Chains A and B, each alone.
Chain A
Amino acid sequence: MPPTPCALCHTNRALILRPKDHSKLCKTCFITVFETEIHHTITTNALFARGEKIAIGASGGKDSTVLASVLKTLNERYDYGLDLILLSIDEGIKGYRDDSLETVKRNAEQYGMELTILGYDELYGWTMDQVVEQVGKKGNCTYCGVFRRQALDRGAARLGVKHVVTGHNADDVAETVLMNLLRGDLPRLSRTTSIITSTPSASSDPASNTNIKRSKPLKYAYEKEIVLYAHHKNLDYFSTECIYSPEAFRGSARALIKNLERVRPSAILDVVRSGEDMAKLVPGSDEGCGGTCSSNRPVAEEEEGGCGSAAGRTVGGDMASVEKQLAQNETATNNDLEVEITSPRPSTKNGAVPLSNGKKAKKGITPKKTNKQVMGQCKRCGYLSSQEVCKACVLLEGLNKARPKNKIEVGYDVQELQQRDQGVDGVADAMQQTSIGGE
């Protein structure tokens, strides 16, 4: 085939076929267009304010590395006036984060950004290795997942940063939309499609109750283009062992997305936009945000990933590579976790949040009783929680009292829920470990 010329400059050889519109671009034009589109996302959604200090949740993976690189470029090009820093979480598993943290350290140098690495030991008083020592190998993923969900927010609060950006991309969002659609969980769908969410303070002092804002500047960026951007810009990122599991529900949703993309590349963004449109139709609650959120933006998922998308997705796989023989245990554990995370729990146990866009809902639609939930804050740590004391604090209490049986109680609760809500499909979710910190 003769080389195709770039559709924009008509000079250079086209190297990239854009999934969203089939346009053929050269390397230089692609990089410019990719950055410009993210700038557009940032400005049309008013993600940032001049002078704002922003922590980039950095795992060393492709998404957060591209996010850091692009934000640095745009901050300089368009004079956003942002103070960008990198925030990484170290679970404290010997050997597990070594390579990715080394990558993040190099990124900090490359981008001239301040880097803070916070360990679970600093945030919770326990490293994962210590947790494993205490509770044994089975069940430790429960701790890791629960801690991870709050880690970035707690870390940001500790640094006095009120805005955390994560590397969630269009594929991540599309996957989550599909999963929630397949589960019939529209309230969750609504929350997860939002580009900005906020979390009540994760500070240990409930008095300093400033909201932590979360946003996803790469929400409309294709994973394919993120990887191509990293490749063509020679970015330094780290990849872990593939955790793609054919049986996993999320894995299936992912595979579906990737298959659709091959047949009709625009499908990914179409799913994202459909998710947004459906979210507008979800009956919200007129009670606002249960008093925890002053703005009109959705409250972040209690279970939202804590470490950037990719890192979140790989928890299970990495644990497996750390302890290969744990594979079976993990399956069981993560099955539990998945259920715990996603079950539309009946009535009072329900962990969902009122929606912000209730006013847009048509009058004729009566919100289902079960979907009206008030999300409060943990009495101990001030973190978003449907219970008086959040899961992390419950787990910590158990650890601190040297009461390893705690995990068994959690497991029981969860299994019961599984039977109730998941039925046969629970098996399909067994490998759901990948979603622990995902979205």
Chain B
Amino acid sequence: MSDDASVAITTEFSGGLEILFGNQKKYSLSVPANDEFGAPANVAFLVRYLCDKVMKDPRKELFVLDDTVRPGILVLINEADWELEGEAKYELQKNDHIMFVSTLHGG
């Protein structure tokens, strides 16, 4: 597979998490189809990608902790809990909707 192949997905941030992403809730992204090691891009890779390429806020630890999504942030893959979909190992498919919802923010 060529390096420039990409997967078109949408991501959404809510529950206050959007504050870390320039106050923008929805992003349409073209994510590389393969991760740094040539394996198919999965959610773990997407999270790294979001941190490096999309996140505006320097406080990465509010999104990622110990190389995974911070506990207390829900990940929904096409509306389903990511635990039902293989969590970080879920491989991105075209047109996937990956949503990150914080439970840590107050009102």
Does A pair with B?
A: yes
**B34 at the A/B interface (Cβ < 8 Å)?**
no
**A4 at the A/B interface (Cβ < 8 Å)?**
yes
Query: Across the interface, which residues of B come within 8 angstroms of A228, CB to CB?
Result: 74, 101
**B58 at the A/B interface (Cβ < 8 Å)?**
no
Compute how far the CA of A224 lies from the CA of B16 in the bound complex, rounded to whole angstroms: 14
Count of CB-CB pairs between chains A and B under 8 Å: 103
Query: Across the interface, which residues of A come within 8 angstroms of B74, CB to CB?
Result: 224, 227-228
Chain A nearest CB from B88 CB (Å) reads 12
Q: Are A17 and B83 in contact (CB under 8 A)?
A: yes
**A249 at the A/B interface (Cβ < 8 Å)?**
no
Partner among B16, B83, B90, B101 whose Cβ is within 8 Å of the Cβ of A241? B16
**A240 at the A/B interface (Cβ < 8 Å)?**
yes
Q: Are A227 and B15 in contact (CB under 8 A)?
A: yes
Chain A residue at minimal CB-CB distance from B99: A231
Q: Are B80 and A61 in contact (CB under 8 A)?
A: no
Given known A-B contacts A227-B101, A242-B16, A313 and B106 have beta carbons under 8 A apart: yes
Compute how far the CA of A317 lies from the CA of B59 in the bound complex, rounded to whole angstroms: 15
Q: Are B83 and A227 in contact (CB under 8 A)?
A: no
Chain A residue at minimal CB-CB distance from B79: A15
DSSP majority for the A interface? helix
**A308 at the A/B interface (Cβ < 8 Å)?**
yes
Q: Are B80 and A261 in contact (CB under 8 A)?
A: no
**A1 at the A/B interface (Cβ < 8 Å)?**
yes
Query: Across the interface, which residues of A come within 8 angstroms of B11, CB to CB?
Result: none
Compute how far the CA of A16 lies from the CA of B90 in the bound complex, rounded to whole angstroms: 16
Q: Are B15 and A239 in contact (CB under 8 A)?
A: yes
User: Which of A62-70, A78-86, A363-371, A394-402 interfaces with chain B?
Assistant: A62-70
Given known A-B contacts A61-B107, A240-B105, A240-B107, A262 and B71 have beta carbons under 8 A apart: yes
Chain B nearest CB from A221 CB (Å) reads 12
Q: Are B83 and A239 in contact (CB under 8 A)?
A: no
Interface-central residue, B15, B70, B71, by most chain A CB under 10 Å: B71
Interface string of B92-107 (1 = CB under 8 A from A): 0000000001111111
Q: Are B105 and A241 in contact (CB under 8 A)?
A: yes
Given known A-B contacts A1-B85, A227-B74, A261-B71, A242 and B62 have beta carbons under 8 A apart: yes
**Size bracket, chain A contacts:** 35 or more
Q: Are B106 and A317 in contact (CB under 8 A)?
A: yes
Chain A residue at minimal CB-CB distance from B80: A15
Chain A residue at minimal CB-CB distance from B18: A239
Chain B residue at minimal CB-CB distance from A262: B71
Q: Are B103 and A308 in contact (CB under 8 A)?
A: no
**A115 at the A/B interface (Cβ < 8 Å)?**
no
Partner among A100, A224, A255 whose Cβ is within 8 Å of the Cβ of B103? A224
Which B68-86 residues have a C-beta within 8 angstroms of A? Answer: 70-72, 74, 76, 79-81, 83-86
Chain B residue at minimal CB-CB distance from A167: B107
Chain A nearest CB from B64 CB (Å) reads 13
Binding site for A on B (CB under 8 A): 14-16, 19-20, 61-62, 70-72, 74, 76, 79-81, 83-86, 90, 101-107
15 contacts between A and B (CB under 8 A): A1-B84, A1-B90, A4-B84, A15-B80, A223-B72, A226-B103, A227-B101, A231-B14, A231-B76, A238-B107, A239-B102, A241-B105, A310-B107, A312-B106, A314-B105
Binding site for B on A (CB under 8 A): 1, 3-4, 13-17, 24, 27, 59-65, 100, 103, 171, 223-224, 226-228, 231, 237-244, 246, 254-255, 258-259, 261-262, 308-314, 317
* Known contacts A171-B103, A255-B72, A309-B106; 7 further A-B pairs (Cβ under 8 A): A1-B90, A14-B84, A15-B80, A17-B84, A61-B106, A239-B15, A244-B104
